[in-house]
Amino acid sequence: MEKLTPFKIGMIWYYREDYDAILRIMTDSHKLPESFDVWLAEAEQDEDNLKQDGYTVVRTRIDPETFPSWCRSQGLNADFEARMGFANFVVKQSAKSNHTKLI
């Protein structure tokens, strides 16, 4: 029987020291928890649920210094859609760099 490789999923991840800046740069910051501690508790629960469902979770840091530039380069607002797009982009880039071609 062939063992399946776990599906990788990018998960948005913030650092405590960045959270206030994150709230300032996101156009939908009103949808984010007001405190890092609340966000972290929710994120860790979501991460546990994804792992229990068989996913390999790739924590993807959103850097408030560089994220707005990435959004502009993609024609996106700094919002949920962009955060998810960035997390998926990082996972895809990681897969490409780990991929070896068979000749």
| pLDDT confidence bin for 7, thresholds 50/70/90 | confident
Can you give the pTM of this predicted structure? 0.83
Q: How many domains does the chain have?
A: 1
Residue 56 lies in a domain: yes
Residue 79 lies in a domain: yes
Average pLDDT over residues 68-84: 96
Give the list of residues 6+ apart from residue 31 with CB closer than 8 angstroms, or none.
80
Give the list of residues 6+ apart from residue 100 with CB closer than 8 angstroms, or none.
none
Sign of CA dihedral 30, 34, 40, 42: negative
Residue 30 lies in a domain: yes
Tokens of 85: 């797009």
Query: Integer distance in angstroms from the first to the last C-alpha of the chain?
Result: 25
> Can you give the residue range of the structural domain that contains 84?
11-95
